[in-house]
Amino acid sequence: MAVDPQIMTMLERITAVSGDTAPAERLAPAEARRAMAAVLPLLNEHAPAVARVEDRTLPGAEGPIAARVYDPGTPTPSPAIVYIHGGGWVLCDLDSHDGVCRELAQRSGLKVVSLGYRLAPEHPFPAALEDCVAAVRWLAAQGRDWGIDRLVIAGDSAGANLSLATLLALRDAGEQPLRGAALVYGVFAPDHDTPSHLAYGGDNRYFLSTAEMEWFWGHYVPAGTDRRTPLAAPLYADLAGLPPLYLTAAEYDCLRTDSEQLAYRLALAGQPHEFRLWRGMIHACLHMAGNVEVMRAEIDRLAAFLRRQATA
């Protein structure tokens, strides 16, 4: 189907706010972060109210990491979604995904713990993953101090990569504190000759380009390191023995093939999963639920999956 008209309106508004700012791949990371900050009000527009939001810290792999807890008013203790934000491992933070976490908390009825892991290139692979694994371990062991007794995980884009890699690292260590995962238009391999990269990655018309993904990978996994190591590129991992997964891909997204190939490999491994293609959508559409009606129904489906896994 064609790009959703409400998505087209959002793209026009983002272009107007961005002005003549160069694409991220032509900027230094600090400049790209400032450019992203200018778009944040649009991405968080019309975010719902949540009963309680609290900034906290928890132990990371190399020191404290920032966390934000969204409580829609659940009893204590109760399940929580550990949320890993996207941004190509280089951009974004707790504020960029505030609206997403509010939507998930309200629509799932679960607490959400958003993690502010270390970013590249200051902290390249595996720093972000180490923070996510350490945070999940701490929440599994000490979560009752925060009113949490069960955990699922979710993430978008690079956050979906980190969510899946966290599951793999914990499985390999003989641990399974997570009951399920939602992986939203994730980046799962460094391959840029895929059908979706060729179809939708030639420029920034759909919010994310192949050139920008190459820039992200270059900062996250520096030259000299194998980008296909399974914890950086989980498409190449052994995918057996994981909790149930919910995968989504946006139709007009250069990363679409990543999720389609992951769904295929999960099926070959006999791994329980659901896959949903978001027709007419683009990368970052998860942020646009306040202005894109279709996305509200899709977040409801995703949230329902996480609630089923958390409460099973």
Question: Which pair of structure tokens corresponds to residue 239?
Answer: 């995918």
Is 18 a residue of the active site?
no
Instruction: Report the 3 state secondary structure along 263-304.
Output: HHHHHHCCCCEEEEEEEEEECCHHHHCCCCHHHHHHHHHHHH
Nearest to 210 by CA among 201, 219, 218: 201
Residue type, 12: E
Catalytic entry in 93, 98, 156, 253: 253
Instruction: Report the 3 state secondary structure along 13-58.
Output: HHHHHHCCCCCHHHCCHHHHHHHHHHHHHHHCCCCCCCCEEEEEEE
Contact status, residue 120 vs residue 149, Cβ threshold 8 Å: no
Contact status, residue 92 vs residue 36, Cβ threshold 8 Å: yes
Catalytic entry in 85, 197, 219, 283: 283
Is 253 a residue of the active site?
yes
Residues 6+ apart with CB under 8 A from 294: 4, 6, 278, 280, 281
Catalytic entry in 96, 157, 163, 196: 157
Is-cis flag, bond preceding 77, omega within 30? Answer: yes
- Crossing angle, helix 5-18 and helix 29-43, to 10 degrees? 130
State the Cα–Cα distance between residues 82 and 272, nearest whole angstrom.
Answer: 20
CA dihedral of residues 259, 30, 10, 283 (deg, nearest 10): 0
| H-helix or E-strand spanning residue 170 | helix 158-172
Cβ atoms < 10 Å from Cβ of 266: 19
Q: Catalytic amino acids?
A: 157, 253, 283
